[in-house]
């Protein structure tokens, strides 16, 4: 069980890193996005947030089988598998989007993971803005070259 858990943990981390690199990398289809706000870029950001919430939620969930990672209300309440999944996804969403409410607290390695997730929550909107600016500049230079 431990090897399978670590395998899924590494797989989820790999998917998160590849998603971020793909989002931030140079625009390949810049002509579709240039000149105005694009609903496609908005959906891309929405999908990226969903991927990160689910991905970090799965990390918390997988690590919960190795030991306690999240504590609710300062008490170690036993929860079933579904309850652990719900807590993990909720904590992931709250941490990524708002830096937490304090109702669920990470312990141990969960604190480091929560810090990384909070950092991604701050960097992702900046990457979105940079992507839009980069795409618009790429489209303008292509227009001037033609």
45 touches 37 (CB < 8 A): no
Does the structural domain 2-12+38-137 have CATH classification 2.40.37.10?
Answer: no
- The per-residue b/e assignment along 49-64, b for 16 or more CB within 10 angstroms, e otherwise, is bebbbbbbbbbbbbbb
* Dihedral angle computed from the Cα positions of residues 93, 99, 101 and 102, in that order, rounded to the nearest 10 degrees: 110
- Give the pLDDT confidence score for residue 73 in this predicted structure: 75
> Would you kindly state where each structural domain of the chain is located, as residue ranges?
2-12+38-137
Q: Is the pTM for the entire model greater than 0.75?
A: no
- Using CA atoms, how far apart are residues 95 and 110, in angstroms rounded to an integer? 12
pLDDT at 56: 92
- The answer to whether 128 and 45 have CB atoms below 8 angstroms apart is yes
The pLDDT of residue 33 is 47
Q: What is the mean pLDDT of each run of 10 residues along the chain (146 residues)?
A: 73 79 60 57 82 90 81 76 86 85 82 88 84 72 60
């Amino acid at each position: 069980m431990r090897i399978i858990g670590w395998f899924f943990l590494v797989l989820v981390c790999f998917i998160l890193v590849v998603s971020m690199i793909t989002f931030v990398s140079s625009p390949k289809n810049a002509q579709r996005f240039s000149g105005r706000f694009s609903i496609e870029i908005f959906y891309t950001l929405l999908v990226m947030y969903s991927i990160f919430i689910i991905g970090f939620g799965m990390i918390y969930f997988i690590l919960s089988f190795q030991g306690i990672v999240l504590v609710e209300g300062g008490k170690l309440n036993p929860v079933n598998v579904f309850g652990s999944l719900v807590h993990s996804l909720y904590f992931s969403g709250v941490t990524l989007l708002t830096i937490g409410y304090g109702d669920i607290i990470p312990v141990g390695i969960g604190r480091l993971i929560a810090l990384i997730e909070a950092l991604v929550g701050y960097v992702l909107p900046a990457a979105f803005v940079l992507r839009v600016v980069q795409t618009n500049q790429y489209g303008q230079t292509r227009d001037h070259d033609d």
